[in-house]
Amino acid sequence: MSRIDAKFAELKAAGKSAFVSYIMAGDPNMDASLEVMKGLPDAGVDIIELGVPFTDPMADGATIQLAGQRALAAQMTLKKTLAMAAEFRKGDDTTPIVLMGYYNPIYYHGVDQFVTDAKAAGIDGLIVVDLPPEEDDELCLPANAAGLNFIRLATPTTDDKRLPKVLQNTSGFIYYVAINGITGSGSANAQTVGAEVARIKQSTDIPVCIGFGIKTPQDAQEMAAVADGAVVGSAIVEKLGAGEPAADVLAFVRTLADGVHAA
Count Cβ atoms below 10 Å from residue 195 Cβ, excluding itself. Answer: 11
Kind and range of the H or E run holding 240: helix 234-241
Chain center to CA of 144 = 17
Kind and range of the H or E run holding 27: none
**Dihedral sign (CA 223, 52, 25, 114):** positive
Q: How does DSSP assign 39-53, residue by residue? A: HTGGGT-SEEEEEPP
Spell 93-115 as b/e; 16+ CB within 10 A means b.
eebbbbbbbbbebbeebeeeebb
Active site residues: 49, 60
The identity of residue 171, as a single letter, is S
209: region left, alpha or beta (phi > 0 left; psi from -120 to 50 alpha): beta
Beta-carbon contacts of residue 34 (< 8 Å; ≥ 6 apart): 84, 87, 88
